[in-house]
Structure 1
Amino acid sequence: MKTSIALFGLAAVAAAAEPRQLFNGKDLDGWSMTGPGRFVVEGGMMKTEGGMGLLWYKGEQFGNCTIRLVFKTTGPRDNSGLSIRLAEEPRDPWYAVHNGYEVQIDAAGDEWHSTGALYSLSKVSKRAQKPTGEWNTMDITLRGQKTIVTLNGEVVNEFVGDQAVPERKQWYEPVRGPRPDAGFIGLQNHDARSTIYFKEVSVNR
């Protein structure tokens, strides 16, 4: 009996640690698009098309968890990102830009705007994105007001909501100030020239 209980307990722990897939590999069920751009499902992957927009996950806010993206770019200047800590449902893509944190995907950007940076707020400590056409794994861990970004197994950014940040210089940069511990999330479609594939979007609590 004790052995059975122990095995059951181990199985329960393993099940609890199993990440939850937010993308089912078939369609965009559970997601909603705002803005002129779009995402399509192609070969079991989500693909950016069209122009500026945000594909956000409906009906649920995320905090105290790790969000995983598995993505690849198709060109050296491809641009995208994950918006996190959105207090309200993003009915306009610029709401996410101004009021959330964007975990950047952009191999060509400077240290404040390259892959793993929190756009214009927290720079990367190193560059860890793989070459164009190769798959990358990015984990975004949310713990209260702390955000930790791990790219291909290397911690590239750690940020706490009340730490000092550069002055806002451009209208399109995010508003400065803390964000909620939990919020909506969304994938950015940056522009019509960028084509990025996502084969996994998952969350582990």
Structure 2
Amino acid sequence: MRVFVCSLAVALGCILSCHVATAESPESEDGFIKIFDGKTMEGWKLAEENTDAWHVEDGKLVCDGERCHAFYAGPLAPMKDFHFKAEVMTTPGSNAGIYFHTKYQPTGWPKFGYECQVNVSHGDPKKTSSLYAVENVSADDLAAAGIKDNQWYTQEIIVTGRRIQLIVNGKTMVDYTEPENKPAFDKNFERRLDEGTIALQAHDPKSVCYFRNLRVKPL
């Protein structure tokens, strides 16, 4: 009888453990929709330059080449108000980015929308979760959040109306409200909320970065 009871307790413990793991997995998050299947680049459209900079490896989107942007082109695009989540890992000296409210273009740096910076130890002083060239995160801010190369962190981007929130591992790094009638960023870039898609950036051959568990919740 004791053996039976112990076995039952172990079985129940395993069931509960499995349930908790499932509840915490990205696939189970209420309202979130995966935008990367972990196997192919279906639903993504690469720029026409340096397309070998992107590949899929063991459930991850990997960038490791010359400048090339991967634009989300699935059924959720274009997006206006949304909550985006992804797990990101940088390697030492790497630079990448996550654009939003942007538009497909075959070459060059994206001209539309904003960029959430991906950079832990690259020389650019604008670090991970900066709203690039608008509200920047410093190396000290990033260190205080415990973000390091070769470790996964969770990046969130929330857009509601004119408000942008950039969150790393649950810590808000940027909370920015775009002013009405905001002037253009400069003659080459139109940094303004409107609607658009997500784009991931391959920055240069020395910058190797990984993205996984990409998902979006329309708001």
| C-alpha contact (below 8 Å) 2:113/2:191 kept by paired residues | no
Cα separation, 2, equivalents of 1:102 and 1:157: 12
SS in 2 for 1:17: coil
| C-alpha contact (below 8 Å) 2:94/2:122 kept by paired residues | no
* TM-score, with structure 2 as normaliser: 0.74
Match of residue 139 from structure 1? 156
Alignment of 1:170-189 (within 5 A): 175=189, 178-180=192-194, 182-189=195-202
Q: CA RMSD in A?
A: 2.8
Residue 37 of structure 2: which of 17, 24, 34 is its match?
Answer: 24
| C-alpha contact (below 8 Å) 1:129/1:151 kept by paired residues | no
Match of residue 105 from structure 2? 90
Q: How many residues align?
A: 183
Residue identity matched to 1:20: I
1:108 aligns with 2:121: yes
Q: Structure 1 residue 49: deviation in Å?
A: 2.0
Cα separation, 2, equivalents of 1:176 and 1:120: 12
Distance 1:122 1:112, change over 3 A: farther
Higher helix proportion, which one? 2
| C-alpha contact (below 8 Å) 2:114/2:191 kept by paired residues | no
Residue 58 of structure 2: which of 26, 43, 51 is its match?
Answer: 43
Distance 1:129 1:138, change over 3 A: farther
Show structure 1 runs of 5+ residues with no match. 1-14
SS in 2 for 1:102: strand
Distance 1:63 1:137, change over 3 A: same
What are the Cα deviations for residues 169-202 of structure 1, in whole angstroms up to 9, with x where unaligned? 8x8xx6365331x211100001110111111211
Show structure 2 runs of 5+ residues with no match. 1-27
Is the radius of gyration larger for structure 1 or structure 2? Answer: 2
Task: Report the identity percentage.
Answer: 23
Residue 149 of structure 1: which of 166, 179, 199 is its match?
Answer: 166
Cα separation, 2, equivalents of 1:112 and 1:143: 27
* TM-score, with structure 1 as normaliser: 0.78
Cα separation, 1, equivalents of 2:148 and 2:196: 31
